[in-house]
Amino acid sequence: MNLKTMNKTTRSNMITYLMVIVAFVIVQVMMAGGNISSSLKGQLVPICAYIVMAISLNLTVGVLGELSLGHAGFMSAGAFSGVVAAQCFSQNINNPVLVLILAMIVGGIVAAIVGVLVGVPVLRLSGDYLAIVTLAFGEIIKGIVNNLFVGLDSNGLHFCMIKNTLEMDTDGKLLINGPMGLLGIPRIATFTMGFVLIMVCLIVIFNLVNSKSGRAIMALRDNKIAAQSVGINVTNYKLMAFVISAAMAGMAGVLFATNFSTVVASKFDINTSILVLVFVVLGGLGNMRGSIIAATVLTVLPEMLREFSEYRMLVYAIVLIVMMLATNNPTLKNALGSFGAKVTGIFKKKPAKGDNANG
Amino acid sequence: MEFLFNLISGISLGSIYAIIALGYTMVYGIAKMLNFAHGDVIMVGAYICFFATARYGLNPLLGVLLSMVVCTVLGIVIERLAYKPLRQAPALAVLITAIGMSYFLQNAAQLLWTSSPKVFPSVVKGSVKLFDGALSVSFVTIVTILVCVIIMVALVLFVNKTRIGKSMRAVSEDKGAAQLMGINVNSTISLTFAIGSALAAIAGVLLCSAYPTLVPTTGAMPGIKAFTAAVFGGIGSIPGALIGGILLGIIEIFAKAYISTQLSDAIVFAVLIVVLLVKPTGLLGKKVSEKV
């Protein structure tokens, strides 16, 4: 492959793939050499999950152009269904990688179904109303999962709501215990699987964006009425982007949940949705590479700020505000831009003879 | 009797939501932004009142006034520092800045006042017995409803009858045209933030008088619910905020009483979704036709 002959988009996509692969290899080498702190090691899988969440939300917010405040709801739906599936599969299948892959598929499908259920009514709305309804759906999913009890015994799965009235055999095992969340999750998530999931999602998103459907979706974002007038089916394409985004969030949920032994439903609340939205906006709308970098940096940042201990979340908030001001305020942006130009100018300038005469 | 009791507590909770929702809806109407930090201004207001009355023994009324002043200043400072530089920026950038502000206020509160819960002393004590003692309504409930009605009437009069109110309506209609007519857009927006934050202080005191545990995240959930209420009634509309807030409060209390305590939030949000699907701009929202 020749980087110079490729068109700009393909080159940019290749750079993103390469960046992820290089980062993966570097971390693997560092892990083999034991150069990685244990706190960072524990963060690797969550970072992967957050990266997948960020790029999938970027598909909704950046490419489709609709603000969603309930992305964690899909993560929750995926995580809970995926882990229940993993528990069922692991009775018959011994290979943890295979179990995780199957669980991710189940989680992805369930999240996609929820995505259709949410998307069909929600996508009729637009702007802030759509945002508030996605927020509401996220809270509803949290409320339902918070009151769900699921058990597994030799007769199969048992479900009930609100109160634990499961009638299981003596060999029964409680999988979801209402507000206590998922119990005894098989910890099968690995950093390598996280890396594979990121790559798969990136391939899907890049190919979608560069396809006919992707262009239709972006046309809807840029001008809905113009797109409609050339015969683009608004609901279909909106739903398509929304459901793919939901399915990826579901898979990220499975990855996230199987990294811990217990997970509660309230983990996937509005704060998580907003956290992911922050990754997307800071990384740049529609820019997948930006989302990946932002998700990584902002997940590691609070850990790095640990020496400030109690001040770290305060510093995080200030960093967030300052970053938004610096990138969006015209005055500040120009000031930074001219400063940057000066800095690069110093390195680029080759002082010619006679130039010194002026001082 | 139980029904009546629930109805009254629903209206009371709804009044608090309505006062908070006013802050959201006014700021949205004028600055076209979702001020996510509004919920945390409530919390700051409640803390100021707590320290003024419980620690320094101030008169409750003075405490409320003090917290209104502090919140007003806080609202103006937030607007000047964080939102004003972003007037021309995309809506999402402003939203994220508002979220950053919300994190900032919560964490600053945690550092200043620690995360251990404070028991808020009720500003108004006692209760009244009706129907030969079959129904007991606390004074806090009555005061909350009264305060809400007074604020609502005052605000509607202010916005519709005064000169400043007129300029606020003009700015919300069209910023550019308002500026050409000689209206100072920046000071009008600042004033809106000031009013919204002062109302947030009152809401904070009322909220903590009814539910007396005070922690740095106290404002977060009521903030989100009040925002929902504002959308429910049609964001940008002052009577809409009242109707949305009270309906939301009643639905929440009834869901808690008759269906399920755990699922009450889910039910509230489900009703919101149904309403928005039938009436996509909320109960009293204006329908804006798209220009081609």
> What digits encode the pLDDT tens for the residues A66-78?
888 889 999 999 9
Percent above pLDDT 70 for chain B: 96
Lowest mean pLDDT, pick from A170-179, A350-359, B174-183:
A350-359
Confirm whether the ipTM is greater than 0.95.
no
CA distance A78 to A251: 6
CA dist., res. A84 & res. A157, Å (int): 9
Write out the residues of chain B at the interface with chain A, using a CB-CB cutoff of 8 A. 28, 34, 82, 85-86, 88-90, 92-93, 95-97, 99-101, 103-104, 107-108, 110-111, 224, 227-228, 231, 235, 260, 262-263, 265-266, 269-270, 272-273, 276-277, 280-282, 290, 292
For the ranges A144-158, A182-196, B108-122, B189-203, the maximum mean pLDDT occurs at B189-203
Q: Where are the domains of chain B?
A: 2-219
Test B277 with A124 for CB contact under 8 angstroms.
yes
Is the confidence at residue A354, as pLDDT, over 50?
no
pLDDT surpasses 90 at A112: yes
Burial of A224 (0-12, 13-18, 19+ CB in 10 A): middle
The burial of B200, by beta-carbon neighbours within 10 Å (0-12 exposed, 13-18 middle, 19 or more buried), is given as buried
pLDDT of residue A105: 93
Q: Strands B118-119, B213-214: parallel, antiparallel or unpaired by DSSP? A: antiparallel
Domains of chain A by start residue, with CATH: 8-24+43-343 (1.10.3470)
Return all residues near B56 (Cβ < 8 A) that are at least 6 apart. Answer: none
Whole-angstrom Cα distance, residue B20 to residue B53? Answer: 22
- Contact A62/A45 with Cβ under 8 angstroms? no
Longest dimension (CA), chain A: 94
Burial (CB count within 10 angstroms: exposed 0-12, middle 13-18, buried 19+), residue B58: middle
Element (H, E) at A174: strand A173-177
pLDDT for A340 beyond 80: no
**Mean pLDDT (whole number) for A26-31:** 84
Alpha-carbon gap, residue A166 to A174, rounded angstroms? 9
CB B23 within 8 A of CB B36: no
Give pLDDT < 50 ranges for chain B. none
Which residues from chain B sit within 8 angstroms of residue A311, using beta carbons? 111
What residues form DSSP beta bridges with A176?
A: A150, A182
Q: Identify the band that residue A359 occupies on the pLDDT scale cut at 50, 70 and 90.
A: very low
Task: Specify the length of chain A in residues.
Answer: 359
pTM: 0.82
Strands B118-119 and A156-161 come out as unpaired
pLDDT of B251-267, one tens digit each?
Answer: 999 888 888 777 888 88
Distance of CA B33 to the CA centre of its chain: 15
- Check residue A352 and give its pLDDT: 45
Mark out the alpha helices in chain A (DSSP H runs): 8-33, 38-58, 71-92, 96-122, 127-146, 191-209, 212-222, 224-229, 234-257, 270-283, 288-304, 312-328, 330-348
Q: How far is A82 from chain B (nearest CA, A)?
A: 23
The amino acid present at A42, given as its one-letter code, is: G
**Among the partner residues B88, B99, B111, nearest to A314 by beta-carbon distance:** B111
The predicted model gives A171-180 an average pLDDT of 75
Please state, rounded to an integer, the average pLDDT across all residues of chain A: 82
pLDDT at A171: 66
Tell me: the pLDDT tens digits for B186-237? 899 999 999 999 999 999 988 888 888 888 888 888 888 888 888 888 888 8
